[in-house]
């Protein structure tokens, strides 16, 4: 019923959609507050609320606590009337979450990614997980609002194609029509988005939209990527080139990067950059050959680094300076209120997060007040964010 309601193009339905979206955003909420927000006449608003109630799209959610007079009824969305699937495909693992209309996680399942995980194999496993969710929670296609898929760029979002992600182990991940492949099994709305954009969206909602400008940075591993929320909206790649953040030059005479230029952030902060630096200083774990490196998972690499000596730790901590310089440039450019840092070194080296903030603050404009955090949703942020983007897609008009 909800999908039919969302997709109806009539002007009456559009007004009901606007009212529903307000209740979703601000609920539980009473009639008087809705009248103030919309300027809809009370009699008209009552009829609209009754229609949403009759169709089980919203519900009465108790009474507002008042000291004088009859307390007003509060209204909220029926959060378990429909569900959304979120899928995050990364080099380390594929994570699948089931959320309700309040983005609460109902269930979650993930599996490790290896060199045998071709697109066909991953999609088969994902389809089995989704089918299990639907059977366990009695969800039919009418109750499944959609499926969001996120991964690293570059992507063709409009056509639902993963173009050529550098970080995935299996070479066959180039030019994958993943949206079409998923829709062949589940004929519902499916969208494709960059994982850092989705993660930024999820953290924006987790913070109750208090911060309108958010910079979500994933650093370490095989590169660096950022998702940017400006005035509550994703900054898309038609303004900033895909994966360009990690190739911001911070030292014109610096280390050679995989892109062929010198001094890029990832030349210092990625796994490859760390290994190159360890080879220079003869760190104990600096001798991994390219063949082993290409086959290694994120967990393999972190175990490798964590077994290293003091030299290894010093090199890793020192790389936080370069990340801090790059972040300060982004902060001065985009002026975020909140900066969320994510990545293996952030989580596994306790001093890394502190040092990144220290170096960042040294280089940002003094009048800027920025909050730094590791986020609320951590590794589930991208998958939950993809589900949120499915819901948002019904309201783009």
What does the DSSP assignment read for 32-95? Answer: HHHHHHH---HHHHHHHHHHHHHTTSEEEEEE---SSSPPPEEEEE-TTSSEEEEEEE-SSEEE
Residue 303 to residue 319: CA distance in whole angstroms: 18
Measured CA distances, 281 to 226, 286, 316 (Å): 30, 8, 12
Task: Tell me if residue 144 falls in helix, strand or coil.
Answer: strand
Residue 366 to residue 370: CA distance in whole angstroms: 10
The CATH superfamily assigned to 83-201+381-393 is ATPase, nucleotide binding domain (3.30.420.40)
Nearest 5°: CA angle at 372, between 367 and 376? Answer: 145
Architecture per CATH, domain 2-77, reads as Orthogonal Bundle (1.10)
Question: Which pLDDT belongs to residue 108?
Answer: 96
Task: Tell me if residue 21 falls in helix, strand or coil.
Answer: helix
Two domains, one topology: 2-77 and 83-201+381-393:
no
Question: Which pLDDT belongs to residue 241?
Answer: 44
Contacts 24+ apart (CB under 8 A), 139-144: 139/83, 141/186, 141/187, 141/188, 142/1, 142/3, 143/81, 143/82, 143/83, 144/82, 144/83, 144/84, 144/85, 144/186, 144/188
Residue 57 token pair: 């799209």
Question: Which pLDDT belongs to residue 239?
Answer: 44
The domain segmentation of the chain, as residue ranges, is: 2-77, 83-201+381-393, 208-375
Residue 58 to residue 37: CA distance in whole angstroms: 18
Among candidate residues 92, 90, 94, the one with its CA nearest the CA of residue 108: 94
pLDDT tens digit at each of 397 positions of the chain: 677 777 766 777 888 889 999 999 998 999 999 999 988 899 999 999 999 999 889 999 888 776 566 788 999 999 888 999 999 998 888 999 999 999 999 999 999 888 888 999 999 999 999 999 999 999 999 999 999 999 987 889 999 999 877 677 666 888 999 999 999 999 999 999 999 999 999 999 998 878 889 999 988 888 888 999 999 899 876 544 455 788 899 888 889 888 888 999 999 999 989 998 888 887 766 577 777 777 777 788 888 888 878 888 899 999 999 999 999 999 999 999 999 999 999 988 889 999 999 999 999 987 778 999 999 998 899 999 999 999 999 988 6
| Residue 88, C-beta contacts closer than 8 angstroms, at least 6 positions apart | 94, 95, 150, 151, 195, 198, 382, 383, 386
Question: Which pLDDT belongs to residue 236?
Answer: 79
Residue 173 to residue 266: CA distance in whole angstroms: 22
Nearest 5°: CA angle at 333, between 329 and 334? Answer: 120
Task: Tell me if residue 233 falls in helix, strand or coil.
Answer: strand
The CATH superfamily assigned to 208-375 is ATPase, nucleotide binding domain (3.30.420.40)
Residue 343 to residue 340: CA distance in whole angstroms: 10
CA-CA-CA-CA torsion sign (223, 342, 90, 383): negative
Question: Which pLDDT belongs to residue 8?
Answer: 65
């Amino acid at each position: 019923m909800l999908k039919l309601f969302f997709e109806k193009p009539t002007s009456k339905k559009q007004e009901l959609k606007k009212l529903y979206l307000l209740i979703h955003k601000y609920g539980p909420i009473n009639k008087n507050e809705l009248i103030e927000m919309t300027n809809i006449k009370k009699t008209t608003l009552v009829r609209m609320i009754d229609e949403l109630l009759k169709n089980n799209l919203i519900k009465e959610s108790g009474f507002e606590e008042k000291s004088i007079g009859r307390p007003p009824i509060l209204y909220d969305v029926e959060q378990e009337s429909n569900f959304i699937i979120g899928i995050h495909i990364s080099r380390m693992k594929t994570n699948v979450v089931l959320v309700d209309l309040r983005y609460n996680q109902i269930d979650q399942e993930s599996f490790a990614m290896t060199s045998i995980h071709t697109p066909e194999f991953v999609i088969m496993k994902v389809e089995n997980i989704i089918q299990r969710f639907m059977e366990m929670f009695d969800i039919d296609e009418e109750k499944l609002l959609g499926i969001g898929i996120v991964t690293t760029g570059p992507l063709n979002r409009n056509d639902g194609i993963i173009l050529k992600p550098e970080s995935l182990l299996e070479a066959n991940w180039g030019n994958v029509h993943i949206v079409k492949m998923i829709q062949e099994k589940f004929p519902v709305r499916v969208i494709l988005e960059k994982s850092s954009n989705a993660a930024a969206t999820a953290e924006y909602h987790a913070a109750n939209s208090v911060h309108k400008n958010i910079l979500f940075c994933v650093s370490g591993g095989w590169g660096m990527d950022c998702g940017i929320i400006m005035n509550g909206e994703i900054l898309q790649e038609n303004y900033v080139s895909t994966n360009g953040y990690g190739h911001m030059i911070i030292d014109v005479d610096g280390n050679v990067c995989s892109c062929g230029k010198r001094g890029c952030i990832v030349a210092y902060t990625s796994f490859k950059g760390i290994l190159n630096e360890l080879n220079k200083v003869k760190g104990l774990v600096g001798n991994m050959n390219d063949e082993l490196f290409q086959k290694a998972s994120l967990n393999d690499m972190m175990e490798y680094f964590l077994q290293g000596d003091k030299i290894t730790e010093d090199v890793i901590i020192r790389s936080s300076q370069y990340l801090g310089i790059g972040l300060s440039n982004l902060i001065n450019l985009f002026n975020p209120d909140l900066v969320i840092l994510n990545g293996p070194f952030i989580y596994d080296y306790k001093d890394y997060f502190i040092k990144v903030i220290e170096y960042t603050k040294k280089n940002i404009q003094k009048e800027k007040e920025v909050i730094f955090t590791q986020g609320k949703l951590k590794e589930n942020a991208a998958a939950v964010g993809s589900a949120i983007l499915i819901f948002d897609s019904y309201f783009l008009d």
